[in-house]
Amino acid sequence: MNTIVSLCKRRGFIFQSSDIYGGMNGFWDYGPRGVALKNNIRDVWWHSVVECPPLDKNGNPLRIFGLDSSIIQNPLVWEASGHAGNFSDPMVDCRITKMRYRADQLIAYVPENREGKSFAFFEDEDEKTISSKIKKCGGGKIEDFCRVSFIDLEVSSYKNVVAPDTTEVGTLTEPKAFNLMFETRVGAVVDDSNIAYLRPETAQGIFVNFKNMQDSMRAKIPFGVAQIGKAFRNEVTPRNFIFRSREFEQMELEWFCHESEAAYWQEFWLDQRLNWWKSLGLSADKINIRKHGRDELAHYAKDGNGTVDLEYKFPFSGEGFSELEGIAHRCDYDLSQHQKVSGVKQEHVDQSTNAKFIPHVIEPSSGLTRAVLAVLCNSYVRDDAHPSGFFLNFAPKIAPVKAAILPLQANDEIELIAKKIFLELRKKYAVAYEDKQSVGKRYAKNDEIGTPYCITVDFDSINGGDVTVRDRNSMQQERVNVSLLDAYLRDAL
């Protein structure tokens, strides 16, 4: 990782944000090569999802619409989605009932003699109800218990605790702190009435536009809405370079379908997304598919088929893998919540039966900035034969620079031809003109930033109209006529 991080700074991919002030933990700036790489990955995703979506089993393109919703939304969005309530407190989940509790709002009844079952209740539960539940569950008399804050219990003792909505012990997960929402204020008045949040996921912008999408696009189930954009999380431990940042970008698709077809579409999207990551050039043996365990599912995915992650073996992943993308079955959780809180119907009408239902959602959700890191790590190839001892093996379609045009020497005629080639090719491709330093150093630098081709103009080019094209990976050189360069690059890229 240290090699990648220093290369990124040295070659203008990624800088520490506000570097001259010592940086800011969890925030990063993308330099000229970094932003080009990120935009290229973004465009490849957008193309494959929105402009040229996959075909269904009848050979027809799926219907997927693009969206760019705002980062700051009505705070009720986050209340409905569960983020406002759940993101800033320690939460425990019941594995059986799927209920979620704020650990600091529960109290526990623990036996005086510390033997046998303990019981968790909401802190405002009346004593009669508490007493009768303890008795019913075979715990004995309430007088034999002491009342303590649930949050003060050792996690190891949870195995003896009966959760508020169940009668069995050991169903509560350990508390998780969700302190992730960044707060801001909207307008000139400074009071709590104008608190708003920076979105922690782009997904909610899609859910709250579901009705707009249906109405304006005459969309029929199944259809999808896709969005790429910034998300913000006040991560407790931002780490591993840009892997876990506080400001990052997501590429999210919400695929609305009938509940009965959700399992099929989740498999479908898993397959599509796996192939997409491979098409970026990620090595197949470094990608892993992992199904979430019941106890780690997000609240919205508990009732459905769960979530499947696509993971990548980053240099910091040790023996394991780290998440690139989750393909979740969010059930009808989000639309139901928004219907409940906004009072606006979020139903779909089946044209043939007139039946109304709230669609289920399959959500392939990936990190764009995380994709940049995966691609950077994956493309670093050590090779002593290369002038720098390594090169970046970017797939040409995402390489920041597709070709560098290099006049071999400072000579008017050579430079004239090189400039002409550059001015022509730049109309179609991201190319660079470089005339400083020796040609060897220019090759080395282009290997380091992953430029697939170097086009060198020399004395022979003056007479024959041929130039040398050097392939980044093989370092093989071939002579190509200037008139054929455009076609050559088009085929190669």
Binding site for ligand GAP (CB under 6 A): 201, 203, 233, 235, 244-245, 248, 250, 252, 323-326, 363, 365-367, 369-370
Closer CB to ligand GAP, residue 161 or residue 372?
A: 372
With respect to ligand GAP, which residue has the nearer C-beta, 164 or 205?
205
- CA pair distance 217, 210, nearest whole angstrom: 10
Q: How far is 163 from 41, CA to CA, in rounded Å?
A: 46
- Tell me how crowded residue 187 is: count the other CB atoms within 10 A of its CB: 9
Closer Cβ to ligand GAP, 366 or 379, answer by number: 366
The per-type count for the chain, helices as H runs and strands as E runs, is 14, 27
Q: How far is the CB of 17 from ligand GAP (least distance, A)?
A: 14
Helix (H, G, I), strand (E, B) or coil at 62: coil
Nearest residue (CB) to ligand GAP, 214 versus 245: 245
Nearer to ligand GAP by C-beta: 205 or 407? 205
For 345, list phi and psi in degrees, rounded to 5: -60, 135
Q: How far is the CB of 324 from ligand GAP (least distance, A)?
A: 6
Q: Residue 338 and residue 157: Cα distance in Å, rounded?
A: 37
Residue with tokens 């509560």: 172
CB of 10 to ligand GAP, least distance (A): 23
Nearer to ligand GAP, 306 or 367 (CB): 367
Residue 119 or 232: the one with the smaller Cβ distance to ligand GAP is 232
Q: Supply φ then ψ for residue 440, to 5 degrees.
A: -60, -45
Q: Whole-number minimum distance, CB 203 to ligand GAP, in Å? A: 4
Q: Which is nearer to ligand GAP, 235 or 486 (CB)?
A: 235
Which H/E stretch holds residue 311? strand 307-312
DSSP of 65-124: EEE---SB--HHHHHHHTHHHHSSSEEEEBTTT--EEEGGGEEEEEETTS-S-EEEEETT
CB of 330 to ligand GAP, least distance (A): 8
Query: Angle at which helices 485-492 and 412-425 pack, to 10 degrees?
Result: 50
Kindly give the pairing relationship between strand 100-102 and strand 90-93.
antiparallel
Q: Least Å distance between CB 316 and ligand GAP?
A: 14
How far apart (Å, rounded) are the C-alpha atoms in residues 80 and 90?
19
Distances (CA, A) of 466 to 249, 310, 388, 428: 43, 46, 27, 20
Of residues 488, 489, 402, the one with CA closest to residue 452: 402
> To the nearest whole angstrom, how small is the minimum distance from the Cβ of residue 205 to ligand GAP?
10
Residue nearest to ligand GAP (CB): 367
Minimum CB distance to ligand GAP, residue 80 (Å): 14
**In angstroms, what is the minimal distance from the CB of 365 to ligand GAP?**
4
- Looking at beta carbons only, is 150 or 232 nearer to ligand GAP? 232
Least Å distance, CB 209 to ligand GAP, is: 15
CA atoms within 13 A on the CB side of 436: 3
CB of 300 to ligand GAP, least distance (A): 9
CB 307 within 8 A of CB 301: yes
Nearer to ligand GAP, 250 or 456 (CB): 250
Helices (DSSP H) in 140-285: which residue ranges? Answer: 203-207, 210-217, 262-279
Q: Based on CB atoms, which residue is closest to ligand GAP, 252 or 448? A: 252
